[in-house]
Structure formats: structure tokens, C-alpha cells
């Protein structure tokens, strides 16, 4: 290539000259269909209740959830991920398996309202339902009992599938949960219900605001079942197991602190890979924006783009509806 004295011969800036040029050469794009909106529905409230640590996020009533589902479908979102907040919590999380429990009722509502216009997903975990706040049932020494919990998950899976969920999100990090739930779904004739495995779910402080959102009373931590933030190889072992057990899609969670894990997943598997931008990530950005310290909309789109760049096909984000709006502009 010709060079002109000390002037640069290669000029990458040429491809950054105009908005049209930058748009054309962009390597990754966001699309509303890749976004999944997590939403909370709470039993026994007349009005939506704001989640104070997540400005803009509420615990929905059945009614406002239905409206939100319609909005989500109209915005062309990929799906909804529903979490139920029951009035009564107990040791076994009995509301999670009651066909008339709040999550099951909400699934029926939403399915009746929007049908198949979006993918209806539900959280398959006990922490929203237990009075001790753990993701499983406890043994007589107070430890989370893996295999007894699997039985509870299987029962939950069946009522959620009956209520109309297209996809279940097992998020409790119990060993064998994907295989156990898959077999029970199949035996009951729900072989079309897919599993979006929370494969690499880290024991993260970024879930803080979520605990308020689901009114969780957890004392202690989840370190005996969720992964140590120090580990990457361990998540590859979880990945192999989940795929062998029949996961249809796999997820990394949280998002921004684990982009490296996401990258490795995306390089290794042929199933869709998702990422969950969790409550604490949302809260951090909202708090800084409220102080006027960052440009909120640009930061939202930049974080979502970083997930796509790292290899995520699907992104769960509390900004899904807003991001869809921003993308239309
Ligand atoms: C478990 C579950 C949690 C989140 C999603 N599913 C909480 C936890 O594992 O402690 C956190 C999501 C968020 O922080 O936004 N049911």
C-alpha cells in the first residue's frame, strides 16, 4: 500500500464518518425480538406496587400484567419471564405448586390475552414461595435438600405447563434439575414445553433489588448452590450437564460482570444462548442516571449491545420495553 511520508496509510476513521456509514458497518444489532421482559405479579394487591430499588419496575396486579403483556407483544418483544409473589409463603413453597397460585393464574391470564404472540416463560424456582427464602426445601439440619427439591420443581413444572407457559426457566441451580424436570414434563405429555436453563448462575450481590421485588426474606446466602464468581471452568461443567439433560436454551447470569462466560458459551454451543441483565445492574444505571452522572439511554443501549457482541442471542432485561422503543427511533 502506498504510504505518504509519515501519514497513516490505513484510516479506520473513514468507516466512521457518517451515521449511515456507521450503521451500515455495525457488526451487531439489537432487535426487540431478542429481548425478554422479566415481570413480577403479586397476589392480593389492588394497585401495582413500585419496587423502590428498581425505579420504573413494579409488582404487577393481574390486570396491569395483562396490559403489559399486550404492550410487549405490540412492541415485538421476544418474550416475557414471569415471577409470582404469593401472599403466603411457607417452608415448602406450596403456592408454587397450587394450580390457583398467583403465577399459574397470571400465566393463564397472559396466555388468554396474547396467545402465542410472544414466548411466555415462567421462573421455575422456590425462593419466591418459601418463608426461609431459599431456592429449595430444607432438610432437618437446615441445608437445601437437592433431591427433595427436584421433586418440588417437577410438580411446579407441571402446573406451570398446564397454565400455559411455553418455556420454563429452572433457576434454582439444583443438580440434575434439567433432566428431572424434562422427564416429568415428557411423561405428562408436555414434550413441547421448552427449558431455558439458568446454566451459569452465579452467587451474585447483583440480585439485591430482586429480593425486594419478590419480597424474599432470605437470611444467609446461596453459596452452596449458586456458582462462585471466581469460576469459569465450573460453568462449562454445568453447561455440559444441562445440554446432556436436555436444555433447549442456556443462560448466563448476571450479565455485565460475566461477559467472558457468555463469550465462551456462545463459542461452544449450538443452542440459543441468553444472558440475564439482573436487578442490580438495572439499579446501578438508574441510580447513576438519576444523579445526572451518566446518559441513561445511551448506557442502556451500550450494555445491551455488549451482550450481543459477547455472543448472546437472547437478553433478559427490565428495560426490554423501553429498549424496543429506543430502537424504533
Ligand atoms: C431465583 C431468581 C433470582 C433472580 C432470578 N431468578 C434470585 C436469586 O437467585 O437470588 C434474580 C434476578 C435479578 O436479580 O434481576 N428465583
Report all structural domains of the chain as residue ranges with CATH numbers, in order of start: 30-328 (3.20.20.70)
Which residues have CB under 8 Å from 54's CB, separation 6+? 209, 212, 213, 279, 282, 283, 286, 318
pTM above 0.95, yes or no: yes
DSSP 161: H
Annotated binding residue at 211?
yes
Pocket test of ligand 1: the residue of 53, 125, 283 to mutate, having most ligand atoms within 8 Å of its CB, is: 125
Annotated binding residue at 202?
no
pLDDT in tens, 57-67: 999 999 999 99
Q: Is this complex's ipTM strictly greater than 0.90?
A: yes
Does position 253 have pLDDT exceeding 80, yes or no? yes
Mean pLDDT of 7-26: 96
Annotated binding residue at 222?
yes
Q: Is residue 291 flagged as an active site residue? A: no
- Which residues does ligand 1 sit against, CB inside 6 Å? 123, 125, 127, 135, 171, 207, 210, 222, 278-279
Task: Write b or e for each residue in 255-294: b if 16 or more Cβ atoms lie within 10 A of its Cβ, otherwise e.
Answer: bbebbebbbbbbeebebbbbbbbbbbbbbbbbeebeeeeb
What separation in Å is there between the alpha carbon of 317 and the centre of ligand 1? 12
What separation in Å is there between the alpha carbon of 6 and the centre of ligand 1? 55
pLDDT in tens, 100-118: 999 999 999 999 999 999 9
Whether residue 62 has a cis bond before it, omega within 30° of 0: no
pLDDT in tens, 215-247: 898 888 999 999 999 999 999 999 999 999 999
Amino acid at each position: 500500500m502506498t504510504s505518504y511520508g509519515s501519514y497513516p496509510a490505513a484510516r479506520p476513521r473513514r468507516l466512521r464518518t457518517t451515521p449511515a456509514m456507521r450503521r451500515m458497518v455495525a457488526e451487531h444489532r439489537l432487535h426487540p425480538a431478542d429481548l425478554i421482559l422479566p415481570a413480577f405479579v403479586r397476589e392480593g394487591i389492588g394497585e401495582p406496587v413500585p419496587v423502590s430499588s428498581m425505579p420504573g419496575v413494579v409488582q404487577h396486579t393481574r390486570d396491569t400484567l395483562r396490559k403489559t403483556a399486550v404492550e410487549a407483544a405490540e412492541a415485538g418483544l421476544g418474550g416475557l419471564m414471569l415471577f409470582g409473589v404469593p401472599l403466603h409463603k411457607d417452608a415448602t413453597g406450596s403456592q408454587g405448586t397450587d394450580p390457583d397460585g398467583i403465577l399459574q393464574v397470571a400465566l393463564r391470564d397472559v396466555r388468554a390475552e396474547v396467545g402465542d404472540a410472544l414466548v411466555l416463560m415462567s421462573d421455575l424456582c422456590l425462593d419466591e414461595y418459601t418463608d426461609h427464602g431459599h431456592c429449595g426445601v430444607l432438610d432437618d439440619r437446615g441445608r437445601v435438600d437437592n433431591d427433595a427439591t427436584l421433586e418440588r420443581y417437577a410438580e411446579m413444572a407441571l402446573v406451570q405447563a398446564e397454565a400455559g407457559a411455553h418455556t420454563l426457566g429452572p433457576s434454582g441451580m439444583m443438580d440434575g434439575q434439567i433432566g428431572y424436570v424434562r422427564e416429568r414434563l415428557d411423561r405428562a405429555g408436555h414434550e413441547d414445553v421448552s427449558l431455558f436453563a439458568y446454566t451459569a448462575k452465579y452467587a451474585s450481590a447483583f440480585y439485591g433489588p430482586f429480593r425486594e421485588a419478590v419480597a424474599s426474606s432470605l437470611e444467609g446466602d446461596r453459596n452452596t448452590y449458586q456458582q462462585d464468581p471466581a469460576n469459569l471452568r465450573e460453568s462449562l461443567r454445568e453447561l455440559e450437564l444441562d445440554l446432556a439433560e436436555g436444555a433447549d436454551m442456556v443462560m448466563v447470569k448476571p450479565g455485565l460482570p460475566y461477559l467472558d462466560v457468555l463469550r465462551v458459551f456462545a463459542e461452544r454451543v449450538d443452542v440459543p444462548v441468553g444472558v440475564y441483565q439482573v436487578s442490580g445492574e438495572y439499579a446501578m444505571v438508574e441510580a447513576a442516571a438519576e444523579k445526572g452522572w451518566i446518559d441513561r439511554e445511551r448506557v442502556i443501549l451500550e450494555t445491551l449491545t455488549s451482550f450481543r457482541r459477547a455472543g448472546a442471542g437472547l437478553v433478559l432485561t427490565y428495560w426490554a420495553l423501553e429498549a424496543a422503543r429506543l430502537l424504533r427511533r
